[in-house]
Amino acid sequence: MPLSFYKMHANGDDFVIVDSRKSPNPVTSQLARRMGDRNRGVGFNQLAVVLDCDDADARLIFWNADGSTLQTCGSATRGAADMLMRESNRTSVALRTDRGLLNCERTSTGAISVNMGQPLFDWTDIPLALEMDTSVLPLTGSPIACSMGNPHCTYFVDDLTAVEIATIGPAIETDALFPRRTNVHFVQVIDRQHIRLRIWERGGGIPLGSGSCSCGAAVNGIRRGLLDNCVEVECDGGTVTVQWDGVGPVFLTGPVKTTFSGVITDSLLKA
């Protein structure tokens, strides 16, 4: 049976939404890889499957383009929230993820704001291979790590244009320090309320942006004392806002847009 989907993006961070409410979840690791292929499939940075849920408006399951799963995706969460709000003519929804219950709201400008939950800092939460202080990792460049439900390793640099992300990123992603691999951030601080961010994404390469990476980078900058509690995060594809008071949950706010909808044919489903 053909599978319907929506293709969306958040400042160029593209993702696919599969609405499987009232039906079994059709997505497997193999299908996620086939759909994620930008030449033979649809192409995406992440895929979100929307499922029925007893204690929320819906449940979300996330996939990377390489067929691996992840607990959270800020961009696809905003996309699913946007879809559900438009469908129900509401300005807020609650979505259940492996990260927990994420409350989402539409702002007066039309952007979607998500409570992404509290960041985690213990070495076991990220996780790291060895017990250590996560505020200064024993790697060249002294990065800092946190978890937003997925692992984040942040480097602060003076000149972002001088960083060879395609070389450094995969080496750090697969470093033995990170048994489940990691997202890698390279951050140039413009001022205390504005950073420029480029990303090597775990299982995805170099995206135009990432909601959870924007959160992780801002949180780590606040921990280092480099940033205020509300930060504009400028990625290659556009800007989102991240707020964190240093204690409670992180709030991510930014735009999402639907690009097109389509149907996956049986030939791809059964490939």
CATH code of the domain containing 97: 3.10.310.10
pLDDT tens string 43-100: 999 999 999 999 999 999 999 999 999 888 999 999 999 999 999 999 999 999 998 9
pLDDT tens string 97-137: 998 999 999 999 999 999 999 999 999 999 999 999 999 99
pLDDT > 90: percent of the chain: 91
**Residues 156, 97 within the same domain:** no
The answer to the question of residue 37 being in a domain is yes
Q: What is the DSSP letter of 161?
A: G
**Residues 87, 182 within the same domain:** no
C-alpha–C-alpha distance, residues 199 and 197, integer Å: 7
**Residues 112, 152 within the same domain:** no
C-alpha–C-alpha distance, residues 99 and 216, integer Å: 14
C-alpha–C-alpha distance, residues 212 and 201, integer Å: 10
The answer to the question of residue 204 being in a domain is yes
Judged against a pLDDT cut of 70, whether residue 10 lies above it is answered with: yes
CA atoms within 13 A on the CB side of 73: 35
Mean pLDDT (whole number) for 239-256: 98
**Residues 24, 83 within the same domain:** yes
Burial classification of residue 142, based on how many CB atoms lie within 10 Å of its CB (0-12 exposed, 13-18 middle, 19 or more buried): exposed
**Residues 79, 52 within the same domain:** yes
The answer to the question of residue 124 being in a domain is no
Q: Which residue has the higher pLDDT, 71 or 243?
A: 243
The answer to the question of residue 260 being in a domain is yes
C-alpha–C-alpha distance, residues 22 and 152, integer Å: 34
The answer to the question of residue 211 being in a domain is yes
Number of domains in the chain: 2
**Residues 191, 265 within the same domain:** no
pTM of the model: 0.94
**Residues 237, 189 within the same domain:** yes
The answer to the question of residue 121 being in a domain is no
Residues 6+ apart with CB under 8 A from 148: 72, 74, 99, 116, 117, 119, 120, 212, 215, 216, 219, 250
**Residues 264, 243 within the same domain:** no
What per-residue confidence (pLDDT) applies to 203? 82
**Residues 244, 262 within the same domain:** no
**Residues 241, 263 within the same domain:** no
Instruction: List the domain range (segments joined by +) for residue 57.
Output: 3-116+256-269
The CA-based angle 54-55-56, given to 5 degrees, is 105
pLDDT > 70: percent of the chain: 99
**Residues 29, 91 within the same domain:** yes
What per-residue confidence (pLDDT) applies to 269? 76
Q: Which residues pair with 102 in a beta bridge?
A: 95
**Residues 19, 110 within the same domain:** yes
C-alpha–C-alpha distance, residues 37 and 35, integer Å: 6
3-state secondary structure of 165: helix
C-alpha–C-alpha distance, residues 255 and 268, integer Å: 31
C-alpha–C-alpha distance, residues 124 and 111, integer Å: 34
Residue 48 has which token pair?
A: 């979100």
The answer to the question of residue 126 being in a domain is no
What per-residue confidence (pLDDT) applies to 1? 62
What per-residue confidence (pLDDT) applies to 259? 96
The answer to the question of residue 221 being in a domain is yes
Judged against a pLDDT cut of 70, whether residue 201 lies above it is answered with: yes
Lowest mean pLDDT among 123-132, 197-206, 218-227: 197-206
